[in-house]
Each structure stands twice: as structure tokens, then as C-alpha cells.
Amino acid sequence: MSYRYEFHAEVAKDYNEAYVWYETQKKGLGERFTSFIRKKMDEIAQHPEHYGERIQKGYREAQLDIFPYLIIYKIYKQRKVIFVTAIHNTKKHPRKKYRK
């Protein structure tokens, strides 16, 4: 029972900033970041409730392996949708990770 994705308008910006930053640090590191994002997104699609709800009701956070990023999302069960609200750098202010 796999879910489909919908993305907040700012998610592409989050992703692109991270990708570019990693690529400027070391050639190929941005691609590695991309593969970790895809792997975690596949895990979320297969088991969306694996990651528990956080303080902000309804939001869930999936930590990437190695990279200091969280995928912030909500589950809409009736529509079978995972709504990704942010790809958040854990070194940035934590209150800014939740978007509506």
C-alpha cells in the first residue's frame, strides 16, 4: 500500500540549496545527497507511519543517514498522500522547519 507524494512549493528550494552546497564542497557529494533523499522517500512511501508524530501535530520527521537533514511530512490517509513540507537542515533554526 504505497502512498503518492505532494510537495510544498518551498521543498524544491530546500533541496536545490542543499544539493548545490554539497556539490561545491566535493564533486559528486550532491549526487550522494540525492540518493539518500530518494532512499528515505522510498522508505517513507512504504511505511509512512514508521516515523512518529512530533510536537507539531500531524508532522513527522525522517532523519537522513549521514547528512544532517530531516524530511518533514504529513500523512493524509484517506487520499493516500504524503505531503512533504520541508527538507530541513538540522543545523538551522528548528522552529522554521514546519510549514503550512
Tell me which residue has cell 511505511: 47
Tell me which residue has cell 510537495: 7
Q: Which residues have CB under 8 Å from 67's CB, separation 6+? A: 18, 22, 33, 36
pTM of the model: 0.85
Give pLDDT tens digits for 27-86: 999 999 999 999 999 999 888 888 877 766 789 999 999 999 999 999 998 999 999 999
Q: Which residues have CB under 8 Å from 12's CB, separation 6+? A: none
Domain boundaries, the chain: 4-92
Fold held by 4-92: YaeB-like fold (3.30.2310)
